[in-house]
Structures are given as structure tokens and as C-alpha cells.
Structure 1
Amino acid sequence: MTFTHRLFTAGLSTLSVLALSTTFATATAVASPTTTDTAPGVPPSLAATDPTIGAPADDPFYTPPASIPAAPGSLIRDQFAPHLLAGFDQEDAPARADKILYTSTAQDGSPVATSGFVMEPARPWTGEGPTPTIVFAPGTRGAGDYCAPSRAGNLFASTDMAAGSINVNYEYPFYAMASAAGYRVVVTDYIGLGTPGQHTYVNHTEEAHAVLDAARAGLAFAGAAADSPVALFGYSQGGGATAGAAELAASYAPELNFKGVFAGAPPANLQDVTDTVDGSMGGNVLGFALNGAIA
């Protein structure tokens, strides 16, 4: 595997940083041993190779129940989420936000619990047809669970001083603008980001599944018709995720009514990305990719 080989030969100066840092957020977790029997929602292939990977998340919302629905895009649970756009008056906010935990599919075909959030606009949609849904695939923000977009305070920013972690949801303004315009907004945390298990960074298959299943879960949560118009938006890591989702949509989620896909700066050729970022501050992303590839 050329990309993996190049990661290992990229140089010790870069690799020494990889496992310890993130671009926008750093997260630290202490896990206790477990078995595949106590790792619900975690792909068995991962639980078998890493006995700590199914340890409960530090936030109970992100810990999957003992069994999860097998159907991709199934809602597992939801939880009201205060957010910055709402300010101090959550009742009269221009949009209501809720965290969601839903089923997606790992690369090996096994069901896996995945998190994200939905912003339902208070302003009625004035265009033609039902309220459109935009699924946002986040750009790079880290590989630790604390870096998940839905874990940011008020869905915008927070710190964990004990762990030395910072979570800045720098794409929140895009979510807010879309929501204020009357669009339903759904944001995925991706597989293994926020929930137990390793985040499989730049694995376009798993990222695509997370995006497509976020659309399904978001529509179900809102009580919207399955054929409601859906668009995808992502840049950088998110661009790769939306591009992957566009490629797999017809086979993986044929019932969804896609109207458009924006895939900005997708890391399509990982070897070119490696050559470009090695030795720079952006080299941190190589560690995310290496950990994901190993998983």
C-alpha cells in the first residue's frame, strides 16, 4: 500500500508529532479493557484487535446501547443541544438543534453507532416543495473524540482544561447561515469521532456512509419525507466525504433525493497530500490518516 508506506517513511520528525497533536483540536481519553461483547456499535474487527476500543465514551450520550438498529440511518437516540445561534433565548431561536446518534456502516459492512446533530429552522421554508436538507461534512478538526463537532460547547467552541483539549467548530457560521435561510442542517461527526472506536480519517468509504446515513437520520428525526430534497456540502476532509457520498449514493442510499453536491478541495490523491503537507504544520493530518489506516 503506497500511501501507508510513504507515511512510515515520511520522517521521524513528522511522525513524532502525529500521534500527539491535531490541527484544530486535541482530545485525550483513558479507556478500560473490554471485549467484543461489551462493544456495541463498534465494528467487531476493530474490537477484536484493540480490546479498549469499545470502552464507554466519557459522555453517556455517545456510548451506544447494548444493541443498535441494523438498518443504516436508523435513529438510536437524540438530545436537545443549546447552540450559539440561539443565544440565551432557546425558545425563540431561529433554529432548534438536537444531537443525534444513528446507525451507519463500517468498511467491513458491520453496523456502527455514529453521532452528529440536526438544526431545524424556525423560519418556514418559502421556496418550492418541502424544506430542503443540507448535510454538512466537516473539515479536519482532529481525531480525538472531544473534537467531534457535536461536542463543542453551544455547538461552537469549548475547552477541556483537564485534558488540555480545545474544540473549535470553525464551520458553524455556514450552518447558521443555511439555517437562517430556512434550510434544515444536518452535521455528521463521522465514524469514530465522538463515539467509541478510532476515527477513520480520509477513509472515503466510511466517511461517505456517515454522510449518507446522516441524511437518512436527519430526515427521520425531523419527520420529513424520505424523498425530501437533499444537498451535501463539504470542504477538505468534508470535500472528500461528500465526493465519496456522491459516488456511493446510487448504490448505498438510492432512496435519497439528491439535488446537489459541493465537494471542495477533496484529498483525492493521498500521496500528493502526503508530499505537500510533510514537514509543515499540516503534517499533523498524516497521523490521523495513519491511525485510521491501521484501524
Structure 2
Amino acid sequence: MVIAGCGVGSGHSDDAGRTSETTVPIPSDATGPGAVLRAVEMPTIDRRIAKLAALTARVTYLSTSGVDGSITEVTGSVFAPQGHAPDGGWPVIALAHGTTGIQQECAPSKDSQLLGSSLLVGEFLRRGYVVAVPDYQGLGAPGYHPYLDPTTAGYNVIDAVRAARQMIPDTSDRWLGFGYSQGGQASWAANELAREYGRGLNLVGTVAMSPLANLRALADAAATGTLTNDQVLVLQWVLATLEKSHPGLDLDEYRRGVVAQNWDVQLSCSGPTAETRAQIAGTVTADDLRPATPEALGRLRDLLEAMSLPKSVATAPLLIGYGGTDSFMRPEWTARAIAGACDRGDTVAVIFDPAKGHGEIDMGPAIPWIEAQFAGQPAPNSCEQP
């Protein structure tokens, strides 16, 4: 099975126009991060999920901002498989989605096919996992989305597991993170954060496919005029959210020409303007996103370095997959991030396909790795290979 929906999406919400929702009972009370505030049915969910699920619910739960530490409300979706839970409860997969946008309407939980994640949800349900899919802060709930802030996304992933356990009583404390693209970064970050922030849960491992991990390199690509069309949009969305988290950032030091003229269009994830994004990206010149001064370049490097992984020692084994023709995150950038994890002593298994691009890595080899982690088997370690 090949991972789909890993790149920058053109978010379309099938549920956005509904004016009434049916509440789903919350089985138990909870407080603090992960506590479910509201749950509603998902009547338009992909039939491939509906036929496999005993519960489908869009939830609003508490989480934590990685930018300022404040308590936030985050939306997401939770799914329970049919049948009886195994001894110890249903194991949990936290499925962290790829980039869908940075606006509130870009939430996967508002779309019948979860903006490209429904096939994976169905596959995990079929294999007997509870699945939690966070939307991430600012997607689906009020507030801004701190795009590619790993700490915020990692918190959101961990708290989605807590929310799923509250909604589905026969759920184990054992969980695994699975993410691709932006979600690959989110799952990797959640692994690093789980030791402290994830107390009370038992992380067995993390799969990070085509993770947007080494972001610092985007600054140098912008300075040298070597950004790909895909990286143009990623960097623009990063800048738009950095302006919110760092109010002193002057966007005009990083944008001009076509980018400055079409700034709002490039930030959209739905509607007619979203259809023109790729066309605009193809007209961007090397100067349109080039930092204006050496000082501006240095600040951007520092900001992106703070958003890059690894940041600390992983809590559990990692499986990282990436391709040699990735136009979002160059393979040498990902290789450097993996080397950094190895230097910290992490256990990392690597899948590398030189002929594949972003989001094209076959997830087939990940399935036995996932099952082995839940079974408590020793994880293979590519870091130990010569």
C-alpha cells in the first residue's frame, strides 16, 4: 500500500455546510490535556471507514500550545473497530496527517475522506486498531495554526490518543504514532515528547514517512534561489504562521514580487483560489522569497532550526521512510536529520527508495514493523549498520 495524501492538499470540506450535528455521548469525565469537550457524529464519513467502524466521532479536546504553553482546543476524529477488544484493550494508532493548509477550514475531520487519510484509517481499523486523527491546533477550531511547529503538533498527537481512550473505554494505553509529511514531523516530535508529556500512556514506536524534519535547509535554499515549487508554498505557509508566533518578524524581508502580490491566495486551502496555487508557484522567481539581508537570513535560519528535528532523545523506536526524488524535503536533508537521531542514541529503522518522491513510499514494510512493536519485539536499528 502506498501512502496517499502526503503533500500539500487543496482542502475541500464535505461537511462544512451542515448546520446541525448529532452529539455523541462522552462515556467518562476527564480534565486536562486530552479531555474531550464535545463529540459529534460523522454521517458523511467515507463508506470504507463506516463499514469497518463501531464508532466514528469528530471530537473537540484540550491540548497545549508548543509556542506559549497555553491550553488550547483542538479538533480531530476518533474511530473504533468493530468486535470485541483483545485482552488489554484495543491498541491505538495516532495517525498524523500531511499538510492540508493553515486555515480553519483545512481540517481533515470536516471532510468525508479526511483529506486523503481515509484509506489509512480503514487499513488500521481492519487490523484491529483504534485510530485517532488530530486536526492540529487551528485547523477546525478557532485560533491560528502554527504550521510545522513540532512541539504543538506533537502535543496534539499525544492528546488525540487521550481523547480516543476517553471516547472508547476498551482501549489500551499502548499506542503508536504514524505520520506522513507534516504528520511525519508531528509523529517524530510526539515520540520525543512522550517521555514527559505522554505520561500515563505507553508509546511503542513511531513511523515517520517523508517527514518535514530538517527545515533549516529551507532558509539556505531561499537564499540561493533553489527552492522547488513545492518548497515555495511550504516556506510561505511557515512564514505566515511565524509572523503570528513572532510578532516582530517583518514579512516584507522575505516576500516580494509574485509572492507578495498573491499572498492571500497562496494561503487558501479551499475554494476557487486554491486551484490557482500551483500556477502561481510556477511563476515565482528566485528573488521572490529570498531573504532581503544577511541578518534576515540568519533570523530565518534560527527560527527554522528551532522547528527542526531531532530536538531530543526519542522515547521509543522510530521507522523513517523517505525517497530520493522528494521535492519537499531533499533526501540529503532527511538523511542529516536521521544522522542526528542516531547521534543521540535513538533506535531508527530506515526505508529509503531512491526512485520515490514525497509521499510515494510503500507503507507495506511498515506493517510488520508496527505489529512487532506492539508485540514487544526488538526493533531493528539502521544506526548500527556500517
TM range (shorter): 0.5 to 0.7
- Determine if the alignment matches structure 1 residue 71 to structure 2 residue 32: yes
Change (3 A) 1:182 1:221: same
C-alpha contact 1:27 1:144 (8 A) present in aligned 2: no
Q: 2:165 aligns with which of 211, 219, 243?
A: 219
Give matches, 1:132-147, under 5 Å. Answer: 132-147=91-106
Structure 1, unaligned runs of 5 or more: 1-21, 29-57, 62-68, 157-168
- Determine if the alignment matches structure 1 residue 114 to structure 2 residue 74: yes
C-alpha contact 1:124 1:182 (8 A) present in aligned 2: no
- Determine if the alignment matches structure 1 residue 263 to structure 2 residue 208: yes
Structure 2, unaligned runs of 5 or more: 1-6, 22-29, 245-386
TM superposition shift of 1:130: 1.7
Q: CA RMSD in A?
A: 2.7
| CA–CA separation in structure 2 for the residues paired with 1:201 and 1:130 | 34
Which amino acid counterpart does residue 200 of structure 1 have in structure 2? P
| CA–CA separation in structure 1 for the residues paired with 2:218 and 2:70 | 29
TM superposition shift of 1:258: 1.2
TM superposition shift of 1:26: 5.3
TM superposition shift of 1:224: 3.7
What is the match of residue 287 of structure 1? 236
| CA–CA separation in structure 1 for the residues paired with 2:123 and 2:169 | 22
| CA–CA separation in structure 2 for the residues paired with 1:250 and 1:60 | 40
Which amino acid counterpart does residue 217 of structure 2 have in structure 1? D
Which amino acid counterpart does residue 211 of structure 2 have in structure 1? P
Identical aligned pairs, as a percentage?
Answer: 31
C-alpha contact 2:60 2:75 (8 A) present in aligned 1: yes
| CA–CA separation in structure 2 for the residues paired with 1:80 and 1:248 | 31
1:239-262 CA-partner distances (Å, limit 9, x unpaired)? 110111111111112110111211
| CA–CA separation in structure 2 for the residues paired with 1:25 and 1:199 | 16
C-alpha contact 2:191 2:205 (8 A) present in aligned 1: no
| CA–CA separation in structure 1 for the residues paired with 2:156 and 2:76 | 9
What is the match of residue 374 of structure 2? none
1:169-219 CA-partner distances (Å, limit 9, x unpaired)? 112111111112211110000011111111111100100110011111111
| CA–CA separation in structure 2 for the residues paired with 1:151 and 1:172 | 12
Q: 2:181 aligns with which of 226, 233, 236?
A: 236
Which amino acid counterpart does residue 243 of structure 2 have in structure 1? I
| CA–CA separation in structure 1 for the residues paired with 2:20 and 2:32 | 22
Q: Which has the larger radius of gyration?
A: 2
Say which SS state the counterpart of residue 94 (structure 2) adopts: strand
What is the match of residue 314 of structure 2? none
| CA–CA separation in structure 1 for the residues paired with 2:167 and 2:157 | 15
The structure with higher relative contact order (CA 8 Å, sep 6+) is 1
| CA–CA separation in structure 1 for the residues paired with 2:159 and 2:199 | 12
| CA–CA separation in structure 2 for the residues paired with 1:268 and 1:23 | 15
| CA–CA separation in structure 2 for the residues paired with 1:212 and 1:186 | 10
TM superposition shift of 1:237: 0.6
C-alpha contact 1:121 1:184 (8 A) present in aligned 2: yes
TM superposition shift of 1:81: 0.7
Which amino acid counterpart does residue 239 of structure 2 have in structure 1? L
What is the match of residue 197 of structure 1? 143
Q: TM-score, normalised to structure 2's length?
A: 0.52
C-alpha contact 1:26 1:143 (8 A) present in aligned 2: no
TM superposition shift of 1:85: 2.9
What is the match of residue 11 of structure 1? none
Say which SS state the counterpart of residue 123 (structure 2) adopts: helix
Q: 2:46 aligns with which of 77, 84, 87?
A: 84
How many pairs were matched up?
Answer: 220
1:242-293 CA-partner distances (Å, limit 9, x unpaired)? 1111111111121101112112222222122452872413421112211221
| CA–CA separation in structure 1 for the residues paired with 2:135 and 2:200 | 22
| CA–CA separation in structure 1 for the residues paired with 2:20 and 2:143 | 15
- Determine if the alignment matches structure 1 residue 94 to structure 2 residue 52: yes
C-alpha contact 2:94 2:177 (8 A) present in aligned 1: yes
